[in-house]
Structure 1
Amino acid sequence: MSHFDVIVLGSGPGGYVTAIRASQLGLKTAIVEKESLGGVCLNWGCIPTKALLKSAQVFDYLKHASDYGLTVGEYGHDFNAVVGRSRGVADGMSKGVQFLMKKNKIEVIMGYGTLKAGKKVMVNQADGTQAEYSADNIIVATGARSRQLHSLPQDGKKVIGYREAMTLEEQPKKMIVVGSGAIGIEFAYFYNAMGTEVTVVEYMPQIVPVEDVEVSKQLERTFKKSGIKIKTSSEVTQVDTSGEGVRATVKSDKGEEILEADILLSAVGIKSNIENIGLEDVGIIVDRDKIQVDEFYQTNIPGYYAIGDVTPGPALAHVASAEGILCVEKIAGMKVEPLDYGNIPGCTYCMPEIASVGLTEAKAKEAGYDIKVGKFPFSASGKAKASGNSDGFVKVIFDAKYGEWLGCHMIGAGVTDMIAEAVVARKLETTGHEILKAVHPHPTMSEAVMEAVADAYDEVIHL
């Protein structure tokens, strides 16, 4: 039986990053994966969806070429080629992880792993054989999948999850998207841009419900302008797939209505992959679908750890990676600080993009802060105007007493690449005045951050 210092179960952005960091720290490491290296993120999530969204964005540009003084002859889109490009990008990324595993001398065990007592992992290997491996430390990074609701049973054909939404053989004429978190919103944007008639159904009073309410309102305005129908405070209570397409019963304050479509995408959240991996045999405590861990990701059983979507933190790729790195650094005896979950950025890659970190205005008030709020619209930004993307704004929230940067919320073109400024500044405990005195380049979208801060402190020049 092979023995390792660390065995990682799952090779998503939590698992493979953890394995690489463990190897860098001199630990003999193995990783167990049942499907494709890179997990959902690289194969069925973050990466291939960005490829789809890029195709939609380029198609959008073609439609509006005349706005830029350009003349485009005939153009159209080949839905299967768009999906094919996305799959190609995903495959390339997965091969990249294979290379990283070799480079870092990590043993890759392809198969389904189950935890055993005594710090062992039993693997039903891809070749049909079974093998047992042991380790001083076992890290569970098995991620999550699309959550199924009783009222929305997924059949993979007419009622689908995100996975099928990425590889449909033909483009639907009409689609209902249930749930308006990042996954639902990104697919709503993609299919609408491609010419599908899209209706978004959201249970909460606003779409992208975790975002600042002003961001939600702006996205709703932009989406409605591009022809997406939005139904908030609404719930799908029943789905009938017996006919040609899907008939969904939607209940709201206004009563009940029937929506008809070819496809219904259920994007109502995720379910942790914690069944049938041996947690019960080992005695690891699970509560509300999440493995319970301490601040350095150890479970209640010494030697067994868990990171990423199977634990209570935000289910985001960058969080899983950060948790895994911290977890193995602690195992290796390094002096590490627990992760600050109040400073995790969230991004949604529709057009306009959304990016945010820290407290919303409502949450800051709820927490009892006396606040200064600044806002700068991209309609007043030279770069945004010149690039033809003037929808959206940057909004900043500061504590009036000490100048602490409490939150930053952006909606606009390319803002997912801008939010890191706020994340780093908050990590360094920067005040608003320091952001104001840090000279931002002109003309850029990033100037809007400085301008929004100036607005908060009544020093705004360009409004």
Structure 2
Amino acid sequence: MADTYDLVILGSGPGGYVAAIRASQLGLKVAIVERERLGGICLNWGCIPTKALLRTSEIYHYMQNAESYGLKADNVGFDLAKVVDRSRKVAGQLNAGVKGLMKKNKVTVVEGVGTVTAKGKLSVKQGDKTVELEAKNIIVATGARARDLPFAKADGKTIWTYRHAMVPTEMPTKLLVIGSGAIGVEFASFYNDMGADVTIVEMLPRILPVEDEEVSAFMDKALTKQGIKLLTGTGLEGLAPSGSGVTAKIKHKDGKVVEETFSHAIVAIGIVPNTENIGLEALGVETDRGHIKTDGYGRTNVDGIWAIGDVTGAPWLAHKASHEGIIAVEKIAGGSPHQMDKANIPGCTYSRPQVASVGMTEAKAKEAGYELKVGKFPFIGNGKAIALGEAEGFVKTVFDAKTGELLGAHMVGAEVTELIQGYVVARQLETTETELMETVFAHPTLSEMMHESVLGAYGRSIHY
């Protein structure tokens, strides 16, 4: 006989496990199915362990530049195995934390490969054994995986995906990063700071193409200054193992194809949703290029089947998945949650320097027909930034000139991934420039630049 629940969640990433906890809080009997490790890709192979690696490279950078702070650090070096081990221990600690949360919230964890066999029914294969589950509602939170190049699949030796790049057994000497989105730029930043010779290839005209153009331009200069070679408007026509490395056929802007050899290559060209072989086709669940189509609450076109997270499409962010999970569960429980508003989802890139944004870019706002007021304040005008030795970067705000609505905010520089939430809250509260101008910001803090950027949009900047 099948085990019966109010809700079964397929996948335990930041969408799935958060949804499970909220469902339990609302009094639902919940089971969560996971084929690998609780916490999914983000916790085990994505957001968290990469930040541990980036923290290591950040400290290593400071150690190498200790003299600029009046300090001495001689014979600076690193142990790659220990760097990786620290990252894995951080992931392991959080995996254990999720296990504890499942137990605390009385969520049944079912290990195995899950398949939706009918409306309200799910089969979980556990080796030679199969467990049958039934539920009034099923949430699909199966996430996504790295996209391979059509002509060169990752082998884990010299051609890597993000998973291989997080657990290197050897340090690349000459690294090719294919793609300049957040993942590509973060790995380029890490390996460059750790001493590799890094080249980024990007098909589009600029790096970090979803960000504001001024942010992309700033990052281009900053990364180039750090020694990273940036090839924008450039295609990759071939990639193959060659001796102890890989040979790439790079098509430059002028159409010329050049062969170059690298010790390793990281493929960071996007993701593929995990929607195959989980029973969706037989049920008639609608998809768009593999991503499950949902409404603002996570409902699919099939009654009782819901979907959240990367499997539903962009933006492919952990915090988006978590919020979608909460919205879906509250709707399932009979509540009246707000619909998902993707315009208020912040995006963060944890490179050096960091990048963060929310809402429309200046170009998108103009395309939408808004009359704009734009403010911009540089890190060099902020006392805390200068004291930290992090005086490069800026904060930019975009307002509707007629209503004062904050249309977008864009930042590049130290710790901006922490600062962006102030603007996210402002947008959620539908704050205008007036409230932001009248808010008191603590001194000395980096957050003062947020205030100054708003003031600058209206010709009132004090320190610039």
The two structures have a TM-score, normalised by structure 2, of: 0.98
Partners of 2:150 and 2:354 lie apart in 1 by 32
Q: How far off its partner does 1:11 sit? A: 0.2
Contact 1:3 1:134 in 2 (8 A): yes
Tell me which residue corresponds to 1:411: 412
Partners of 1:224 and 1:341 lie apart in 2 by 32
Q: How far off its partner does 1:313 sit? A: 3.9
Tell me which residue corresponds to 2:141: 141
Partners of 2:231 and 2:74 lie apart in 1 by 37
How far does the alpha carbon of each residue in 1:184-222 deviate from its partner, in whole angstroms, 9 at most, with x for none? 000000000000110000111000000001101111111
Count of matched residue positions in the alignment of Structure 1 and Structure 2: 462
Partners of 1:456 and 1:295 lie apart in 2 by 33
1:381-396 aligned at under 5 Å gives the runs 381-396=382-397
Gaps of 5+ in 2: none
Q: How far off its partner does 1:79 sit? A: 1.1
Partners of 2:75 and 2:342 lie apart in 1 by 49
Q: How far off its partner does 1:297 sit? A: 1.2
Contact 2:152 2:240 in 1 (8 A): no
Contact 2:143 2:273 in 1 (8 A): yes
How far does the alpha carbon of each residue in 1:43-71 deviate from its partner, in whole angstroms, 9 at most, with x for none? 00000000000000000000110000111
Contact 1:151 1:236 in 2 (8 A): no
1:225-264 aligned at under 5 Å gives the runs 225-254=225-254, 255-264=256-265
Partners of 1:333 and 1:73 lie apart in 2 by 62
Tell me which residue corresponds to 1:40: 41
Q: How far off its partner does 1:432 sit? A: 1.1
Q: Secondary structure at the residue paired with 1:373?
A: strand
Q: How far off its partner does 1:281 sit? A: 2.1
Q: How far off its partner does 1:129 sit? A: 0.9
Tell me which residue corresponds to 2:403: 402
Partners of 2:152 and 2:213 lie apart in 1 by 28
Tell me which residue corresponds to 1:423: 424
Q: Secondary structure at the residue paired with 1:76?
A: coil
Q: Secondary structure at the residue paired with 1:418?
A: helix
Q: Secondary structure at the residue paired with 1:330?
A: helix
Tell me which residue corresponds to 1:205: 205
1:181-196 aligned at under 5 Å gives the runs 181-196=181-196
Q: How far off its partner does 1:128 sit? A: 3.3
Q: Secondary structure at the residue paired with 1:425?
A: helix
Q: How far off its partner does 1:326 sit? A: 0.3
Q: How far off its partner does 1:243 sit? A: 2.5
Contact 1:285 1:299 in 2 (8 A): yes
Q: Secondary structure at the residue paired with 1:241?
A: strand
Contact 2:119 2:305 in 1 (8 A): no
Partners of 1:136 and 1:414 lie apart in 2 by 44
Partners of 1:443 and 1:253 lie apart in 2 by 45
1:64-83 aligned at under 5 Å gives the runs 64-83=65-84
**Over aligned residue pairs, what C-alpha RMSD do you find?**
0.9
**Pair 1:343 & 2:356 matched:** no
Q: Secondary structure at the residue paired with 2:128?
A: coil
Q: How far off its partner does 1:336 sit? A: 1.3
Q: How far off its partner does 1:461 sit? A: 1.1
Q: Please identify, of 413-422 and 247-256, the stretch whose mean Cα deviation from structure 2 is larger.
A: 247-256
Tell me which residue corresponds to 1:368: 369
The two structures have a TM-score, normalised by structure 1, of: 0.98
Tell me which residue corresponds to 2:96: 95
Partners of 2:284 and 2:435 lie apart in 1 by 50
Q: Please identify, of 127-136 and 329-338, the stretch whose mean Cα deviation from structure 2 is larger.
A: 127-136
Contact 2:119 2:304 in 1 (8 A): no
Contact 1:152 1:266 in 2 (8 A): no
Gaps of 5+ in 1: none
Q: How far off its partner does 1:151 sit? A: 3.1
Where in structure 1 do 4 or more consecutive aligned residues deviate above 6 Å?
none
Q: Secondary structure at the residue paired with 1:419?
A: helix
Contact 1:143 1:273 in 2 (8 A): yes
Partners of 1:152 and 1:210 lie apart in 2 by 26
